[in-house]
Amino acid sequence: MSRMRPLLINELGYLMLEPEQANAFFRPMGQRNNRVSTIITTNLDLPDWCDLFDKKPLVDALLDRLQHHCITIRIDGPSLRSPESPATSSTSSPRRPSKPGPEKAVAP
């Protein structure tokens, strides 16, 4: 256990989990508790984790362990991936000038 590295779980809840997958998720989370850093990103509010894992007592135990020594960062606002987002529109960021390439002769 002392050789465990920090773990990043990105977009938890993006896909629904089968019962076997949910059970497999709880085991390493319990082993990592108070030993090594775990970073989880998700669009789910914490109460919605019960729908993802479908086992409220286990979710309560997991969240209790995760929240005991955690920092929660909640980001509210429009998605930066949506087509209407200023971050994805072509007018919001200046385009880099293209690098001049080698000149080529064009035959008539």
pTM, two decimal places: 0.65
- What value does the mean pLDDT of the chain take? 78
Q: Domain ranges for the chain, please list them.
A: 7-68
Say if residue 59 is exposed, middle or buried (CB neighbours under 10 Å; 0-12, 13-18, 19+).
Answer: buried
Q: What is the largest CA-CA distance in the chain?
A: 77
> For 12-26, what is each residue's pLDDT tens digit?
988 888 888 888 888
What 3-state DSSP class applies to 41? strand
Residue whose structure tokens are 């995760």? 66
